[in-house]
């Protein structure tokens, strides 16, 4: 009876470790999916702003109003400040013509994208940092 209990205990411990590893892996993948979707949302908003600005004579006041309306509609959700909406526009403009870099930006978080976009001077430098981050992730 004691031998069975030891075997059960060892087997249970192995099961527990395996289940915890699987849960952590699922949590990590869920977080990556959420981050990817958020970056793509910001890309799409940036694209919508650029498209409208090219077709119409929009000034800063439109983005300011959009920020106010989005913040009112999505209370408690951060990310829709006028400053961040301008960043979304810049994000789209920075990467939309670069077929090599645009898929890479979807794989890293928004804060990393902002840091790279704002600090790097050219696409070659951006590619270097994007690749380095993707190696870690």
- Residue that has been written with the tokens 């990393």 in this structure: 112
pLDDT tens for each residue of 39-92: 999 999 999 999 998 888 777 789 999 999 999 999 999 999 999 999 999 999
Which residues, 6+ apart, have CB-to-CB distance to 75 below 8 Å?
none
First to last CA, the chain: 47
Percent of the chain with pLDDT over 90: 83
Quote the mean pLDDT of the chain. Answer: 92
The CA-CA-CA angle for residues 9, 12, 15, to 5°, reads 155
Q: What is the pTM of this model?
A: 0.84
């Amino acid at each position: 009876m004691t031998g069975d209990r030891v075997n059960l205990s060892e087997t249970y411990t192995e099961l527990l470790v395996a289940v915890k590893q699987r849960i952590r892996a699922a949590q990590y993948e869920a977080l990556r999916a959420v981050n990817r979707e958020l970056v793509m949302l910001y890309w799409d908003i940036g694209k919508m702003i650029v498209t409208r600005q090219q077709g119409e004579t929009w000034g800063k006041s439109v983005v300011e109003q959009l920020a106010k309306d989005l913040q009112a509609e999505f209370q408690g959700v951060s990310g829709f400040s006028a400053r961040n909406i301008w960043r979304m526009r810049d994000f789209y403009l920075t990467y939309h013509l670069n077929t090599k870099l645009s898929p890479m930006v979807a794989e890293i978080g928004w804060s990393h994208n902002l840091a790279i976009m704002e600090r790097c001077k050219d696409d070659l430098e951006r590619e270097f940092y994007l690749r380095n981050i993707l190696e870690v992730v």
